[in-house]
Amino acid sequence: MDQETIELLKTLDASKRVIVVLFKWRYPFFTNLEAMKKPQDAALIGYFARQIQSKLTNEQLAHFDKVLWFDADYGDFARVYVNSDETKVPQIEEFVKELVEVVSPTKLHLLETEEFMIHPVAALRQKYGVPGPTNADLTRLRDKQWLKEHAATHSLPSAKFIVFDGSQKNSAVTSAEKIEATIGSYPMFTKPIHGVGGGGGGRIDGRAQLDEWVTARGNDVQTYLIEEYVEGREFWAVFALLQSGERRLLYLIHLPADQSMHASLSAGRPIAYIGLNVKDVKFEFPGIRNFLDDVITAFDPPHPHIFCIQGFQTKPAAHEY
């Protein structure tokens, strides 16, 4: 950091209640932040990859007290989608190391808006004594195997599943038979336990394709979740979990009945979402708030936190989730 930035940070440390640092490594914002309101006793610092600079607008940047840029390396980006625990952004760690020498760590909040940045940013909170969730708090919520098993222990409805460990050298035939017997029908879907954004995932439509998939994992050390295909309407419910313990539903969106995220991603089409207001949610998804509250209670995510629940309504306008 140059001297001008250091002096600004010292001033903010002395005058503000909290200093929020937002990291962006790969992607810009997807809105112009029109509704954003920054409290007067808060400062906002951006630490962004220079590669996205041309995609950021003046309206977005105006919300920040200071924006700093770094040159990102995307050489291992494809691998990150398969296992986000492997995300490495050394520039960010070096910045935080310098930052805590200037600003009180207890005043800092380190934020990210990209799923593959959750692990490295949480590690930095723990390493430098910055308040907020650490990987000890979040790892279980990012482990697809733990999520499925935990849902079962709390009697939360979930698609049938089996875990395939690529490091276990069972025969392809034995593995395929066990998978087929557990899931019971096609298609079925595969995804790495620690993958994000659909990275490394796929669809299997029959036994021959399943045999081929299992055989291809012969030298794979990844662990995969395999799930049954579920008929229904896919939805996302996003909550703000407040420090007070309040659970505030921000919005609920769902896919049109004739579309799926997997099909849109595979075809390279835009993903169409339908947003619902509170009245429509109660009509089209009756009793869903009770279901969502049961999920939050069972998984007990840290507060404050933005928490998204992805699920399916198995019958239209029915209390079946």
Tens digit of pLDDT per residue, the chain (321 long)? Answer: 999 999 999 999 999 999 999 999 999 998 899 989 999 999 999 999 999 999 999 999 999 999 999 999 988 777 777 777 778 899 999 999 999 999 999 999 999 999 889 999 999 999 999 999 999 998 888 889 999 999 999 999 999 999 998 777 565 666 899 999 999 999 999 998 888 777 788 899 999 999 999 988 877 778 899 999 988 888 999 999 998 999 999 889 988 777 777 677 677 777 788 888 777 788 889 999 999 999 999 999 998 888 999 999 999 889 999
Residue 46 lies in a domain: yes
Contacts of 57 (CB under 8 A, 6+ apart): 32
Residue 116 lies in a domain: yes
pLDDT given for residue 85 in this prediction: 77
Gap between the Cα atoms of 154 and 183, Å rounded? 21
pTM listed for this prediction? 0.85
186 and 91 inside one domain: no
Give the burial string for 28-49 (b: 16+ CB within 10 Å, else e): bbeeeeeeeeeeeeebbbbbbb
22 and 116 inside one domain: yes
Is 162 in contact with 226 (CB distance < 8 Å)?
yes
Residue 294 lies in a domain: yes
223 and 237 inside one domain: no
In which domain, by residue range, is 309 found? 231-313
Helices (H), the chain: 3-15, 58-61, 77-82, 90-99, 118-128, 135-142, 144-153, 172-183, 207-216, 261-267, 278-284, 288-299
Helices (H), 143-287: 144-153, 172-183, 207-216, 261-267, 278-284
The tally of domains found in the chain comes to 3
111 and 159 inside one domain: no
